[in-house]
Structures are given as C-alpha cells and as structure tokens.
Structure 1
Amino acid sequence: MTSYEVLLQPLTPIQLTLFPNPSFWRRWGVGVGARILPPLKMVNSSNNRARVSLNLVAISSAHVFPCAIPNQYTKLNISTKFWESFDHPTDTWLPGAKLGVDKAGKVLKQLISWTDLEDPSLGLFSFSLRLDPNGSSEYILEWNRSQVYWSSGVWDGNTFVFVPELKLNNVFNFSFVSNENETYFTYSRFDASLMSHFVINSTGQIQQLTWLSSVQPWGLFWAQPASLSNVYAFCGPFGIYDDNSSNIFDCPKGFELFSDTQTRLNVWSGGCLRKHPLQCGNLNGKGEWFLKIPNIKFPVNLKAYLAVSARRCNWLV
C-alpha cells in the first residue's frame, strides 16, 4: 500500500487507511476514517499505538474483508469474538462505545490525547471515569494521569451536573449505566445522517464534534474546559495564556519560547526559557527584580512568602 490507500469494509461508511506521518521520517500510521466525508475525517489513528477506535470485531465464521491488492479478498473463519476495538479507545469516543470501568476485569476504558497535532503517541491528557466509594461517579480530565483539572460533576439521574449538554435531547441519546459488573457512559444518535464523536485533543480539552452534509466542516457542539487557561500546565513554565489576544500564548519580558515548533503544533507545555541566566550570585551583575503581571491566576500548590516591601522580595528569589 502507498500513501492514503485504503481498506474498505463493504456496506459501511468506514475505511482503514495507511498514511505517512510528517513528523517522523519514513514512519507510517494507520487511520480509521469515514469515507463519506469530504475531506476524509480521521476519527482515530495509530502510530506508536497499535490500536484504533473503529468498532472492529471478529465475530462470525464468514466475514469477508478486502485486501490491499485490488479485487482480492480474504475470508476469515472465526467463530468467537476475541478482540473489540471499542474496548481499547485512544483519543476518540464514537457512538455506541462505552467509556467507564469494567469492574470484573478492573479495566479502565479512557481517552488519552495525542502528544501533539501530528504525533499520535500517548500524550499528557486523559479523560476517564472516577468512582467514589460512596457510590457516586464523575468524569475527570487529568494531566499526566495525576493532576485533576476538570470534573463533570456527579450523575443526577438526567445529566452530569456541570455538563448540561449531556442531557437526553432530541438529537443524542445519552445513557449512564452502573451495575455490579460495569459502570459506563454511552451515547447514540437519533438521526443517522448526523455524524458525531468525542475527542480529547492535545491541548487538554474534551470536545464533542458534529457533522452534517449540509453544514460543513465539523462543528463544535461543546467543549470543556471552556477556556484553555483552566487546563493544567497548558502554558508550561513561565508561559502566559491570554484569552483576549489573537496570540494566545506569550512569554514574559526576558524569556523566549522553549521551542519554535510549539506554535506549529499548537502545544505549549514546553513553556518559556530565560534568555540570560540570573545574576543573583554575581556581584558585578545587574540587579534582579520581580516583574509585575496583572490578572494572573494562582497556580496549584502555590507557595507564599511574607515580605515587608517590594525590595525585600528580591532577596527571596
């Protein structure tokens, strides 16, 4: 197979595609896409991950799938389901898939972001179900599988309290199920012509995207956190995020971008670096001081120091 050649499953709008990854020389990825959409929408892909999110299931004894060679087919004689991709989601959650916990096997079905726009290896952000010992459940977004920076709130019987968009409506059928074997959330569409999927992107947002043939391209139905300023460590060390600026990321005076590729790949976790080292220990160097920056949100686990004056702060560096 060469660039963008496909494996088509008959009578479905899905295709399995081999495509080049521009970030890695001579490295290819496998993508699952909806072939009815112009252009092809990759609902998921695998490069360093050997898994995809199309619901590929080996279940019957007479399934026929097309091969890479034109007009050639392979017949799989399989009588038992041995693997299902919906049990192994990557960054994309499709209608019909369950996102939650298999209590019997203690398997967590979660979404994990790409590293950046081009690299599908495991990124820093994840979306998963958190079970509380008292019986309540909520979905959370985590940085590095350790720091929670957003939660859906608990299920109140109709929706998650902080996400009213996930309430049953005439477009989507959202369902939350909890029993002795599993706890999960799933959804379906009342209108089959409406394409929809959830994705956790490399900037740390969980988004639901929709597509109609009459309204192109993909549209954003909802996203959380609503502001990227609420994504943990989004700007990295010394980075500044500004919702009200066309240039959302910036470095303070005396600092520069950690990497120029941050702008191209839309990932700012590298933050900023000092242009010149501090001169605190150099008696012949110029004095160092704090830079006053207004409208700043305090970081998690901040440390505060008592000082009698602004000049006194300089000695606390």
Structure 2
Amino acid sequence: MLSFIFRRLALTAATMLAVSLLVFLLLELNPGSVAVKVLGPYSSEEQRQLWLEANGYLNPLWQRYLEWLGRMVTGDFGESIRFKVPVAEVLWPRLWNTAILAFWTFAVLIPLSLTLGVLAGMREGSRLDRAISITSIITTSIPEFASAVFLSAIFVFGLGILPGTSAMSNGFDPLQLILPVMVLVLYDVGYVTRMTRASMAEVMTAPYIRTAVLKGIPFPRVILRHGLRNALIPPFTVIMLQINWLLSGVVVVEFFFAYKGFGALLLEASLNQDIYLIQACAMVAVFVAVTTQTLADIGYTYLNPRIRLQ
C-alpha cells in the first residue's frame, strides 16, 4: 500500500515537472515578447533590453528555467501586470473564493446525486428510475448561462428574494452564494446521478447481491453494506473530476454573477495578457488536477479491496 502511494506521489511530481517545463517554454521562450507584455507595446528597444538584463532574461535558457521553477516552488510568481501587485496577493484570495463556492456546491451535489442515483439504480426500469433519468438528462442538457438567466429571472426579478450578483463587495454574504451554487448543482447533478444509477444498476445484478437477499438480510442493509460501496467507484471518479471543473471551468458562472473566483481571474489574466498571472493560474490548476487524480487512485484502494491486495 505504501509503495503504491509513493509511486503515485512520484508520478505526480514528475507530471508537475513536465507541465512546468511546458508552461515555461510556451510563455517565456521568447524574452522579447515577455518584455513587450510587461513594459507595453510603446516601450523603446533600449528600455526592453535594460529590463531583460535586470531580470535575468539574457541568461541561458536552462538557468532561466531553474530560477523560474525555484521561484514558483517558493510561491514567488512575480508581479501582476494587470493589478500592479504581487501575483500571490491576487491569486490566493481568488482561489479561496472558488474553494468556498466548490465546498457548498459539493455539499449539495454529492448527497443529492448519490441518493437519486441509488434510488434509480435499485429499481431499474421502474417509474422512479425513468423519472429520475429523464430529469437528469434535461438538467444536464441545459448550459450554465441558460440556467443562470432562468434562475435569475425567477428569484431576482420575479420573486425578488435573492441578490443578482455575488461580488461580496460588503463582505461575505451567504445569500449571494445561493444562485451560483444552484446553477452549478443544477447543471452537474444529472451527470453524477446518471453515473451512479448506471453503476448501481450493474451492482444490483451481481451474484453476491442476490445471495445476500436470499439469506434474508434486510434490503436496506444489502444496499448500504454490499451494493453502495461497490457502486461508488465510477461516481467517485466523476466527483473527483468535478474538482477540476469547479476550479477553472466555471468561468461563465463566476462572470455572470460577478463572483471574484479563480475562473474569472484566469479569464481576466488571459484578456489582459498578464503573463505572470497566467503562469501562476496554469500551475495551480494543473497541481489541483494532478493531486485530485492521485487522491482518487488512493481512494480506489479503500473502495475496492482487490486493488489494495494487488
């Protein structure tokens, strides 16, 4: 078990190293373009050369990469061109805001989708199964921007009970999180529910389930102790993948509700060609993606003992 964890951690470190080299080559291979982005298109050639020399861009490529990697590891991402402050001062608060949004989304999404998926998979082909499946397909087919407009029309303009933006300009306000969380849950709950339903339906046809039922074990106990644990492996994979989506894939939701999150920050950095902020966002996004997949692989060993024995 420990050797498996160490192998996964080594693979994670190797992946991060390879991605860091790719990000560096894509964004900093040409020092002249970096100088133009930092100093602006109207800077003179002399100003650019002085800046390149002062910031070590005339050093060999391998030396520049090692110095850049060392700064990244220590949390020194440089200074944001857009915000005129160190990147870390902008990045970490935005990342924390997205973490709050993701936490409440998961707090609603996971129990709701697993419950609906189990109920549908227990009685495959029943009316309840068809109702849950049709509802899941409908919710998944509606994009976030459409559901955001629809829910805003109801709760903001129609009923007037929820704020239409989530800028948190006067401090943290739980009410401003309700609409973004509703949009994200509405879009994603159908996908996770369908995965859980398919996995649960397959498990319910397994011989050990029939054996447990024939032995007279109460049906709720059969579902919870024998069926659910084995059915959780595919949904677990999907849920772990949703962390990456909630980190950088919710740009539409954050932009629509003016929520100051990581996705909106990445979009703003791209529009303003903020090279150091783009680098930091890319490395953080890849780190979260690789880490979540490592945790998913480790989690498999607890959900499926056969993997642990192998």
**Is TM (by shorter chain) over 0.5?**
no
Q: Which has the higher helix share?
A: 2
Q: TM-score if structure 1 supplies the norm length?
A: 0.20
Which of structures 1 and 2 has the larger relative contact order (alpha carbons within 8 angstroms, sep 6+)?
2
Q: Which has the higher strand share?
A: 1
